Amino acid sequence: MAEPPPPEEPRDVLAPARELGFNGLLELLVRLDGAAEAEVVQAALAGGISPVVVLEELRREVERRLMRAHGFYDRSGP
């Protein structure tokens, strides 16, 4: 009896954000319908928030939006 094919590898929905710097993440955020959030990011930098903190929060927001765009949060069941 033949073995079943291996399960498909799940798509890496975060791939578009990998290796992007600040400007790339900011542009991606805008493309993900996050223009208002991009303005908040820029205001945070202008307000003196640490660039390291701002970058980390920007990365998290972009990743969250990428996951939502691919239905990650919409999956139900086990």
pLDDT tens-digit readout, 13-36? 888 888 899 999 999 999 999 999
**37 in any annotated domain:** yes
Whether residue 29 is contained in a domain is answered as yes
User: Is residue 20 in some structural domain?
Assistant: yes
| Residue 32 forms part of a structural domain | yes
- Residue 50 inside a domain? The answer is yes
Over 60: is that where the pLDDT of 78 sits? no
Q: Could you tell me if residue 48 is inside a domain?
A: yes
The rounded Cα 32 to chain-centroid distance in angstroms is 9
Residue 2 falls within a domain, yes or no? Answer: no
DSSP letter assigned to residue 13: T
Range of the domain at 47: 15-72
Domain annotation covers residue 51: yes
- Give residue 70's pLDDT band: very low, low, confident or very high (50, 70, 90): confident
pLDDT at 10: 62
Residues 47-68 pLDDT 10s: 999 999 999 999 999 999 998 8
Number of structural domains in the chain? 1
